[in-house]
Amino acid sequence: MPLVDSVLAQYFEDALKRADAMAPDYALLWQSLQAATYGGKRLRPALVLSAYAGLGGPDPAEAAEVAAAFELLHTALVLHDDVIDRDFKRRGVPNLAGAYRSRAAGRGVPLEEAAHRGQSAAVIAGDLALTGAYRLVAASDLPGELRLRLLEELDAAVFASAGGEQLDVEFSLPGRRPSLQEVLQMSRLKTAVYSFEAPLRAGALLAGAAGREVEAVGTAGRYIGTAYQLVDDLLGMFGDEELTGKSNVGDLAEGKCTPLIAYARLCPEWQELAGLLGGTPSAAEVRRARNLLEECGARGYVEDLVECYAARARAVLAEAALPAALLAELDGLLERAVQRSR
Protein backbone atom coordinates (compact mmCIF):
# COMPACT_ATOMS: atom_id res chain seq x y z
CA MET A 1 0.00 0.00 0.00
CA PRO A 2 2.67 2.48 -1.05
CA LEU A 3 0.38 5.55 -1.13
CA VAL A 4 -0.81 5.07 2.43
CA ASP A 5 2.68 4.17 3.58
CA SER A 6 4.04 7.33 2.11
CA VAL A 7 1.39 9.48 3.84
CA LEU A 8 2.26 7.82 7.14
CA ALA A 9 5.99 8.06 6.50
CA GLN A 10 5.65 11.78 5.85
CA TYR A 11 3.48 12.23 8.93
CA PHE A 12 6.00 10.51 11.18
CA GLU A 13 8.99 12.18 9.58
CA ASP A 14 7.54 15.62 10.33
CA ALA A 15 6.55 14.66 13.86
CA LEU A 16 9.92 13.08 14.62
CA LYS A 17 11.72 16.18 13.45
CA ARG A 18 9.57 18.40 15.66
CA ALA A 19 9.81 16.06 18.64
CA ASP A 20 13.56 15.74 18.32
CA ALA A 21 13.89 19.50 18.37
CA MET A 22 12.10 19.44 21.74
CA ALA A 23 13.74 16.48 23.46
CA PRO A 24 15.25 13.11 22.48
CA ASP A 25 12.95 11.38 24.99
CA TYR A 26 9.96 12.72 23.14
CA ALA A 27 11.36 11.55 19.80
CA LEU A 28 11.65 8.08 21.31
CA LEU A 29 7.92 8.11 22.06
CA TRP A 30 7.21 9.04 18.44
CA GLN A 31 9.48 6.26 17.19
CA SER A 32 7.60 3.83 19.39
CA LEU A 33 4.30 5.15 18.05
CA GLN A 34 5.56 4.72 14.51
CA ALA A 35 6.59 1.15 15.27
CA ALA A 36 3.11 0.48 16.74
CA THR A 37 1.50 1.86 13.59
CA TYR A 38 3.74 -0.19 11.31
CA GLY A 39 2.89 -3.47 13.02
CA GLY A 40 -0.64 -3.60 11.60
CA LYS A 41 -2.06 -5.37 8.57
CA ARG A 42 -3.44 -2.16 7.08
CA LEU A 43 -6.91 -3.72 6.95
CA ARG A 44 -8.74 -0.41 7.37
CA PRO A 45 -6.81 1.57 4.75
CA ALA A 46 -7.28 -1.37 2.37
CA LEU A 47 -11.04 -1.14 2.88
CA VAL A 48 -11.05 2.60 2.20
CA LEU A 49 -9.09 2.08 -1.00
CA SER A 50 -11.19 -0.93 -2.09
CA ALA A 51 -14.46 0.93 -1.74
CA TYR A 52 -12.96 3.97 -3.41
CA ALA A 53 -11.59 2.12 -6.43
CA GLY A 54 -14.53 -0.29 -6.57
CA LEU A 55 -17.02 2.56 -6.80
CA GLY A 56 -15.20 4.33 -9.59
CA GLY A 57 -12.74 6.53 -7.73
CA PRO A 58 -10.20 7.50 -10.40
CA ASP A 59 -7.07 8.36 -8.43
CA PRO A 60 -6.17 6.41 -5.26
CA ALA A 61 -3.94 9.29 -4.17
CA GLU A 62 -7.15 11.20 -3.41
CA ALA A 63 -8.07 8.59 -0.82
CA ALA A 64 -4.63 8.00 0.66
CA GLU A 65 -4.83 10.52 3.51
CA VAL A 66 -8.20 9.34 4.71
CA ALA A 67 -7.03 5.72 4.44
CA ALA A 68 -3.94 6.56 6.51
CA ALA A 69 -6.16 8.33 9.04
CA PHE A 70 -8.04 5.10 9.69
CA GLU A 71 -4.75 3.32 10.35
CA LEU A 72 -3.77 5.97 12.90
CA LEU A 73 -7.21 5.70 14.47
CA HIS A 74 -6.70 1.96 14.76
CA THR A 75 -3.30 2.46 16.38
CA ALA A 76 -4.79 4.90 18.88
CA LEU A 77 -7.70 2.66 19.82
CA VAL A 78 -5.46 -0.39 20.20
CA LEU A 79 -3.05 1.53 22.43
CA HIS A 80 -5.82 2.73 24.73
CA ASP A 81 -7.65 -0.61 24.63
CA ASP A 82 -4.46 -2.31 25.78
CA VAL A 83 -4.22 0.14 28.69
CA ILE A 84 -7.82 -0.64 29.65
CA ASP A 85 -7.25 -4.41 29.31
CA ARG A 86 -3.86 -4.18 31.03
CA ASP A 87 -2.24 -5.95 28.10
CA PHE A 88 1.49 -5.46 27.68
CA LYS A 89 1.84 -7.67 24.64
CA ARG A 90 0.23 -7.87 21.26
CA ARG A 91 0.76 -10.91 19.06
CA GLY A 92 3.34 -12.16 21.49
CA VAL A 93 5.54 -9.08 21.26
CA PRO A 94 5.69 -6.28 23.85
CA ASN A 95 3.38 -3.44 22.84
CA LEU A 96 4.26 0.20 23.48
CA ALA A 97 3.18 -0.03 27.12
CA GLY A 98 5.20 -3.23 27.47
CA ALA A 99 8.31 -1.67 25.96
CA TYR A 100 8.08 1.35 28.25
CA ARG A 101 7.41 -0.93 31.21
CA SER A 102 10.61 -2.87 30.48
CA ARG A 103 12.52 0.35 30.04
CA ALA A 104 11.42 1.66 33.46
CA ALA A 105 11.96 -1.71 35.13
CA GLY A 106 15.44 -1.83 33.62
CA ARG A 107 16.22 1.42 35.42
CA GLY A 108 15.18 0.03 38.75
CA VAL A 109 11.52 1.04 38.91
CA PRO A 110 9.50 -1.66 40.74
CA LEU A 111 7.41 -3.72 38.30
CA GLU A 112 3.96 -2.44 39.24
CA GLU A 113 5.12 1.15 39.12
CA ALA A 114 6.95 0.40 35.85
CA ALA A 115 3.68 -0.96 34.43
CA HIS A 116 2.02 2.34 35.22
CA ARG A 117 4.83 4.20 33.44
CA GLY A 118 4.27 1.97 30.42
CA GLN A 119 0.55 2.66 30.46
CA SER A 120 1.17 6.38 30.84
CA ALA A 121 3.32 6.40 27.71
CA ALA A 122 0.58 4.45 25.89
CA VAL A 123 -2.09 6.97 26.92
CA ILE A 124 0.03 9.82 25.60
CA ALA A 125 1.01 8.01 22.38
CA GLY A 126 -2.63 7.07 21.77
CA ASP A 127 -3.63 10.71 22.11
CA LEU A 128 -1.06 11.66 19.48
CA ALA A 129 -2.29 8.99 17.05
CA LEU A 130 -5.92 9.94 17.65
CA THR A 131 -5.36 13.61 16.93
CA GLY A 132 -3.14 12.62 14.00
CA ALA A 133 -6.11 10.83 12.42
CA TYR A 134 -8.28 13.95 12.69
CA ARG A 135 -5.45 16.07 11.45
CA LEU A 136 -4.97 14.00 8.28
CA VAL A 137 -8.65 14.26 7.35
CA ALA A 138 -9.18 17.84 8.47
CA ALA A 139 -6.11 19.20 6.70
CA SER A 140 -6.56 17.20 3.51
CA ASP A 141 -7.10 18.87 0.15
CA LEU A 142 -10.63 17.50 -0.24
CA PRO A 143 -13.47 19.85 -1.21
CA GLY A 144 -15.22 21.38 1.81
CA GLU A 145 -18.47 19.45 1.78
CA LEU A 146 -16.75 16.09 1.27
CA ARG A 147 -14.18 16.83 3.97
CA LEU A 148 -16.99 17.49 6.42
CA ARG A 149 -18.74 14.24 5.51
CA LEU A 150 -15.50 12.34 6.10
CA LEU A 151 -14.97 14.05 9.43
CA GLU A 152 -18.45 12.85 10.36
CA GLU A 153 -17.46 9.29 9.45
CA LEU A 154 -14.32 9.52 11.53
CA ASP A 155 -16.34 11.00 14.35
CA ALA A 156 -18.98 8.28 14.12
CA ALA A 157 -16.20 5.70 14.29
CA VAL A 158 -14.66 7.25 17.41
CA PHE A 159 -18.07 7.76 18.99
CA ALA A 160 -19.02 4.14 18.43
CA SER A 161 -15.76 2.56 19.50
CA ALA A 162 -15.56 4.67 22.66
CA GLY A 163 -19.12 3.60 23.44
CA GLY A 164 -18.29 -0.06 22.82
CA GLU A 165 -15.20 0.20 24.98
CA GLN A 166 -17.14 1.80 27.81
CA LEU A 167 -19.90 -0.83 27.61
CA ASP A 168 -17.24 -3.55 27.67
CA VAL A 169 -15.97 -2.10 30.96
CA GLU A 170 -19.51 -1.72 32.34
CA PHE A 171 -20.60 -5.22 31.42
CA SER A 172 -17.94 -6.78 33.58
CA LEU A 173 -19.22 -5.06 36.75
CA PRO A 174 -20.34 -7.57 39.38
CA GLY A 175 -24.04 -8.22 39.24
CA ARG A 176 -24.33 -6.78 35.74
CA ARG A 177 -25.91 -9.36 33.40
CA PRO A 178 -25.97 -7.89 29.92
CA SER A 179 -28.34 -9.55 27.50
CA LEU A 180 -27.03 -11.27 24.39
CA GLN A 181 -28.45 -8.34 22.46
CA GLU A 182 -26.42 -5.90 24.52
CA VAL A 183 -23.22 -7.90 24.17
CA LEU A 184 -23.61 -8.11 20.40
CA GLN A 185 -24.21 -4.39 20.21
CA MET A 186 -21.14 -3.70 22.35
CA SER A 187 -19.03 -5.86 20.10
CA ARG A 188 -20.34 -4.14 16.98
CA LEU A 189 -19.73 -0.68 18.43
CA LYS A 190 -16.25 -1.49 19.69
CA THR A 191 -14.86 -2.98 16.48
CA ALA A 192 -17.19 -3.36 13.51
CA VAL A 193 -17.94 0.33 13.04
CA TYR A 194 -14.41 1.72 13.01
CA SER A 195 -12.80 -1.32 11.37
CA PHE A 196 -15.30 -2.13 8.62
CA GLU A 197 -18.34 0.11 8.37
CA ALA A 198 -16.66 3.52 8.56
CA PRO A 199 -13.66 2.78 6.28
CA LEU A 200 -15.94 1.35 3.59
CA ARG A 201 -18.34 4.29 3.83
CA ALA A 202 -15.39 6.70 3.72
CA GLY A 203 -14.02 5.07 0.56
CA ALA A 204 -17.46 5.23 -1.07
CA LEU A 205 -17.88 8.88 -0.14
CA LEU A 206 -14.44 9.70 -1.53
CA ALA A 207 -15.42 8.03 -4.81
CA GLY A 208 -18.51 10.23 -4.99
CA ALA A 209 -20.78 7.17 -4.83
CA ALA A 210 -24.56 7.49 -4.59
CA GLY A 211 -26.15 7.51 -1.14
CA ARG A 212 -27.56 4.00 -1.47
CA GLU A 213 -24.11 2.64 -2.38
CA VAL A 214 -22.58 4.31 0.64
CA GLU A 215 -25.29 2.78 2.79
CA ALA A 216 -24.87 -0.65 1.19
CA VAL A 217 -21.12 -0.95 1.71
CA GLY A 218 -21.52 0.46 5.22
CA THR A 219 -24.23 -1.98 6.21
CA ALA A 220 -22.38 -4.89 4.63
CA GLY A 221 -19.27 -3.74 6.48
CA ARG A 222 -21.13 -3.69 9.78
CA TYR A 223 -22.34 -7.28 9.25
CA ILE A 224 -18.93 -8.50 8.08
CA GLY A 225 -17.32 -6.78 11.02
CA THR A 226 -19.76 -8.33 13.47
CA ALA A 227 -19.09 -11.77 11.99
CA TYR A 228 -15.36 -11.09 12.18
CA GLN A 229 -15.61 -10.14 15.85
CA LEU A 230 -17.71 -13.21 16.66
CA VAL A 231 -15.09 -15.41 14.99
CA ASP A 232 -12.50 -13.60 17.08
CA ASP A 233 -14.43 -14.50 20.21
CA LEU A 234 -14.62 -18.14 19.10
CA LEU A 235 -10.89 -18.20 18.41
CA GLY A 236 -10.25 -16.60 21.78
CA MET A 237 -11.89 -19.63 23.40
CA PHE A 238 -11.46 -22.54 21.01
CA GLY A 239 -8.71 -21.43 18.61
CA ASP A 240 -5.35 -23.04 18.10
CA GLU A 241 -2.81 -20.65 19.61
CA GLU A 242 -0.20 -21.86 17.14
CA LEU A 243 -2.35 -20.86 14.19
CA THR A 244 -4.02 -17.71 15.51
CA GLY A 245 -1.11 -16.21 17.40
CA LYS A 246 -3.71 -15.27 20.01
CA SER A 247 -4.00 -16.68 23.51
CA ASN A 248 -7.01 -19.00 23.84
CA VAL A 249 -7.02 -18.67 27.61
CA GLY A 250 -7.01 -14.86 27.91
CA ASP A 251 -10.76 -14.34 27.43
CA LEU A 252 -11.48 -17.05 29.99
CA ALA A 253 -8.99 -15.71 32.51
CA GLU A 254 -10.29 -12.13 32.17
CA GLY A 255 -13.89 -13.27 32.57
CA LYS A 256 -14.71 -11.27 29.44
CA CYS A 257 -18.36 -10.92 28.61
CA THR A 258 -18.41 -12.28 25.05
CA PRO A 259 -21.56 -13.55 23.29
CA LEU A 260 -20.39 -17.08 24.21
CA ILE A 261 -20.60 -16.18 27.87
CA ALA A 262 -23.81 -14.19 27.53
CA TYR A 263 -25.45 -17.27 25.99
CA ALA A 264 -23.99 -19.68 28.53
CA ARG A 265 -25.40 -17.53 31.35
CA LEU A 266 -28.87 -18.60 30.31
CA CYS A 267 -28.07 -22.31 30.63
CA PRO A 268 -27.99 -24.71 33.60
CA GLU A 269 -24.29 -25.35 32.84
CA TRP A 270 -23.61 -21.78 33.94
CA GLN A 271 -23.45 -22.69 37.61
CA GLU A 272 -20.34 -24.79 37.05
CA LEU A 273 -18.92 -22.54 34.33
CA ALA A 274 -19.08 -19.39 36.45
CA GLY A 275 -16.63 -20.97 38.89
CA LEU A 276 -14.10 -21.45 36.08
CA LEU A 277 -14.01 -17.81 34.92
CA GLY A 278 -11.44 -15.27 36.06
CA GLY A 279 -8.17 -15.96 37.81
CA THR A 280 -5.64 -18.29 36.22
CA PRO A 281 -7.46 -21.47 35.25
CA SER A 282 -5.48 -24.74 35.07
CA ALA A 283 -5.27 -26.67 31.78
CA ALA A 284 -7.90 -29.07 33.05
CA GLU A 285 -10.20 -26.17 33.98
CA VAL A 286 -9.74 -24.63 30.55
CA ARG A 287 -10.70 -27.95 28.92
CA ARG A 288 -13.71 -28.27 31.19
CA ALA A 289 -14.88 -24.73 30.43
CA ARG A 290 -14.59 -25.40 26.69
CA ASN A 291 -16.59 -28.62 27.04
CA LEU A 292 -19.27 -26.83 29.01
CA LEU A 293 -19.50 -24.07 26.40
CA GLU A 294 -19.99 -26.75 23.75
CA GLU A 295 -22.44 -28.82 25.76
CA CYS A 296 -24.69 -25.92 26.64
CA GLY A 297 -24.84 -24.96 22.99
CA ALA A 298 -23.02 -21.63 23.28
CA ARG A 299 -20.40 -22.54 20.70
CA GLY A 300 -22.97 -23.77 18.21
CA TYR A 301 -25.09 -20.69 18.81
CA VAL A 302 -22.22 -18.29 18.09
CA GLU A 303 -21.15 -20.30 15.04
CA ASP A 304 -24.71 -19.96 13.76
CA LEU A 305 -24.62 -16.25 14.48
CA VAL A 306 -21.49 -15.97 12.35
CA GLU A 307 -23.31 -17.65 9.47
CA CYS A 308 -26.32 -15.47 10.04
CA TYR A 309 -24.32 -12.23 9.85
CA ALA A 310 -22.45 -13.55 6.82
CA ALA A 311 -25.79 -14.25 5.12
CA ARG A 312 -27.07 -10.77 5.97
CA ALA A 313 -23.90 -9.26 4.52
CA ARG A 314 -24.32 -11.30 1.32
CA ALA A 315 -27.96 -10.29 1.04
CA VAL A 316 -27.14 -6.60 1.35
CA LEU A 317 -24.36 -6.91 -1.20
CA ALA A 318 -26.53 -8.89 -3.63
CA GLU A 319 -29.34 -6.35 -3.44
CA ALA A 320 -27.17 -3.30 -3.84
CA ALA A 321 -26.15 -3.93 -7.43
CA LEU A 322 -22.57 -2.90 -6.72
CA PRO A 323 -19.88 -3.18 -9.40
CA ALA A 324 -18.75 -6.80 -9.86
CA ALA A 325 -15.12 -6.22 -8.88
CA LEU A 326 -16.09 -4.60 -5.56
CA LEU A 327 -18.62 -7.34 -4.88
CA ALA A 328 -15.96 -9.97 -5.42
CA GLU A 329 -13.59 -8.14 -3.13
CA LEU A 330 -16.12 -7.79 -0.32
CA ASP A 331 -17.14 -11.42 -0.76
CA GLY A 332 -13.51 -12.39 -0.37
CA LEU A 333 -13.23 -10.24 2.75
CA LEU A 334 -16.29 -11.92 4.19
CA GLU A 335 -15.03 -15.41 3.41
CA ARG A 336 -11.66 -14.70 4.99
CA ALA A 337 -13.39 -13.30 8.07
CA VAL A 338 -15.63 -16.33 8.43
CA GLN A 339 -13.26 -19.09 7.39
CA ARG A 340 -10.86 -18.35 10.20
CA SER A 341 -13.26 -20.22 12.45
CA ARG A 342 -13.51 -23.40 10.40
Q: Which of 49, 66, 69 is nearest to 58 (CA)?
A: 49
Please say whether the beta carbons of 77 and 161 come within 8 A.
yes
Residue number with CB closer to a copy of itself (116 or 288)? 116
As a whole number of Å, the CA-based R_g of the chain is 21
Separation between Cα atoms, residue 215 and residue 291, nearest integer Å: 41
7: how many CB neighbours lie within 10 A of its CB?
Answer: 23
- At a CB cut-off of 8 Å and minimum separation 6, what does 134 contact? 69, 151, 154
Residue 114: CB minimum distance to a copy of itself, A: 10
Residue number with CB closer to a copy of itself (61 or 173)? 173
Any contact of residue 166 with a copy of itself (CB under 8 A)?
yes
Any contact of residue 169 with a copy of itself (CB under 8 A)?
yes
Q: How many residues bind a copy of itself (CB under 8 A)?
A: 56
Residue number with CB closer to a copy of itself (112 or 242)? 112
- Identify residues 117-136 at the interface with a copy of itself (CB under 8 A): 117, 120-121, 123-124, 126-128, 130-131, 134-135
- At a CB cut-off of 8 Å and minimum separation 6, what does 11 contact? 68, 72, 132, 136
Residue number with CB closer to a copy of itself (138 or 267)? 138
Q: Which of 187, 167, 168, 185 is nearest to 228 (CA)?
A: 187
Residue number with CB closer to a copy of itself (147 or 288)? 147
DSSP state of 109: -
Q: What does the binding site for a copy of itself look like in residue numbers (CB under 8 A)?
A: 15, 18-19, 22-23, 25-26, 29, 76, 80, 83-84, 86, 104, 107-109, 116-117, 120-121, 123-124, 126-128, 130-131, 134-135, 137-139, 144, 147-148, 151, 155, 158-160, 162-163, 165-167, 169-170, 173-176, 182, 185-186, 189
